[in-house]
Structure 1
Amino acid sequence: MNFVRQNNNSVDGDLVAGNKSETTFNFINAQTIDELTRLYDTMKGDGVGESSGGTFCEQLEHYLAASTDGDVRGLESKLRESGREDQISAAMRMKEQATKAVMRHQTSRTAQRIYTIILDELYTNFSLTVAPIIQAGATRVDVDQRIHHLLQNTKIMLGENVLEISVRDLWALLYFLGGNCHIRWDKC
């Protein structure tokens, strides 16, 4: 076994004395981008697009309702039990803002579809890229980096983004998903 000694190093990036492995996930589906473009075009005229008649589509209702077949803890409990007490206050406000943003668009079937696509992307990519490293015991820094990457990729996917959804709004939607029992930040 060889040992490497390093002294008096000053770096702004990674300092590695051995092997380093990084995995980057970029899940951007061209069909999703095409559908978003069509939906945006529909909304451009009146800002509403297709009317919903005041009801929510079935797919969006799935995310609005708290799931009863999984982890039914509330958002505050999930954050506390995953060592994220520092996020509780902001997360509760952001979750409420996300809920209100979705509700503001209840008269637009088009906007509902856009939100459904976003929630599908966040949920699926969280499940495929963040949850596994949580289960593997990754540090909070590593988990947060993966979440940041997920948010950035989702923001890129939005393209023209007629609803003007920011990265912070996407982060709020993650708390929305956590509060409605769809995702968690601790091991199962």
Structure 2
Amino acid sequence: MAFLKPALAGAAATASGNGLARFAYVPLFPAMVTAGWVDGGQAGTLGAAALLGYLIGTLAGRPVALRLGVPGLLDLGMGLVVVALAACAWNGGFWWFLGWRTLAGVAGGFLMAMAGPATQASVAPWRRGAAGASSSPGSAAASPPGRWPCPGCCRWACRPPGWGWPGWSRCSGRWRMRTGRAWC
């Protein structure tokens, strides 16, 4: 079962990078529009900003990993996801959200570019299939956040927008704290 810790770390990074950094804002957009934080067009622009950041992070992941090392890049990505989601709890206006949603996308791209290969490199060759199954993007995209190892923390996303962002940030931080630095 030595493969389990790197597999769970990879799954947490994948879920944070793809599930939270890129897509966690979608259920919060109607509440943000209703609360007057953004209008419908601005909400769509924030989605595009997260996608742009994701593309930047994915393309920059390898060069940044060469400078910081893979564990450093993954730590940076997880930390940026937590900070970006927490920053979105404050209504600083459209430009505030635009910067933080772009940064969340960059962090998500870092994690998606390197979490899978780091997980695979951290387990014995005969266990890579089992480790890969729990760190694949499909498992992160198909699983609701409440099913990941932070029971109860994602229920905050059902509240007004100021409550949802810290809840998602808390989920990502708890995933990081529970799995540790298993890809070293």
TM-score, normalised relative to structure 1: 0.30
Larger radius of gyration: 1
Q: TM-score, normalised by structure 2?
A: 0.30
